[in-house]
Amino acid sequence: MQDRPIIGIIGGTGDLGSGLAKGWTAAGYEVVVGSRSREKAETFAAELGDLAKGNDNVGAAAAADVVVLAVPFASHEATLEEIKPVLQGKILVDAAVPLVPPKVSVVQLPEAGSAAQIAQRLLGDGVRVVSAFHNVGASKLHAGGRADCDVLVFSDDKEARDTVIELAAVVANRGIGGGVLANSAAAEALTSVLIWINRNYKISGAGIAITGL
């Protein structure tokens, strides 16, 4: 892996994925935007400048060192199955949140514990799964500059976790290690709480900050 990894974003034209792409390319990282529609990905990548390229999901994952999965939970497992053959030996950053419409402001974690644990079991030990970016409002990323919140990062692989902590600090205030992958259930559940806060207080981007560090 290079000093600055190439980042592939699966679901890169969605709200979260496109916001992350904007932040990383603005900071000088090469990004491959992935989408089910290669044409849509290429059109958006062209807007980001020379550091971005567009491809379909498999092509984006194959071209990257670090792959970020930013798709709805409803298509989480199907997308993982699609890109699994090109993920071996890489870091997969799972940003999926197990929201169950229409009650997205109610915590509804899967029986397996978390989306990230589902990903690790499906992909096997050859892929280093990291869980992050659940609690970053897309509106914060699209506002320009770094999002004014912290990013909790979880993984059973310390080196992979540290890599993503560094990437999180590029697009938000800080990346903060939150422990092993099983702990990602806390951040995934917290997303529903933040959605409730957004609705109740009529704001668009409630986030978190860890004090005392």
Q: What is the pLDDT of residues 139-194, one digit of tens each?
A: 999 998 899 999 999 999 999 999 999 999 999 999 999 999 999 999 999 999 99
Q: Which residues of the chain, if any, have pLDDT below 50?
A: 1
> Residue type at 121?
R
**Token pair 């990062």: residue:** 153
Note whether residue 209 is domain-resident.
Answer: no
The whole-number pLDDT of residue 89 equals 97
Note whether residue 84 is domain-resident.
Answer: yes
Cβ-Cβ contacts under 8 Å for 203 (sequence gap 6 or more): 197
Note whether residue 1 is domain-resident.
Answer: no
Note whether residue 54 is domain-resident.
Answer: yes
Cβ-Cβ contacts under 8 Å for 100 (sequence gap 6 or more): 73, 106, 108
Answer whether 0.75 is exceeded by the pTM.
Answer: yes
Note whether residue 52 is domain-resident.
Answer: yes
Note whether residue 42 is domain-resident.
Answer: yes
Half-sphere exposure of 100 (CA within 13 A, CB side): 7
Q: Which contiguous run of DSSP H or E holds residue 184?
A: helix 184-201
Note whether residue 86 is domain-resident.
Answer: yes
Q: What angle do CA 138, 4, 176 make, to 5 degrees?
A: 50
Beta-sheet strand order (sheet of 52-56): 52-56, 31-35, 7-10, 66-69, 91-94, 128-131, 147-155, 172-177
Three-state SS at 155: strand
CATH number at residue 51: 3.40.50.720
Note whether residue 211 is domain-resident.
Answer: no
Q: Which contiguous run of DSSP H or E holds residue 181?
A: none
Structural domain range at position 76: 7-201
**Residue of 47, 40, 26, 35 whose CA lies nearest to 8:** 35
Give the total number of structural domains in the chain. 1
**76 vs 95: CA distance, rounded Å:** 10
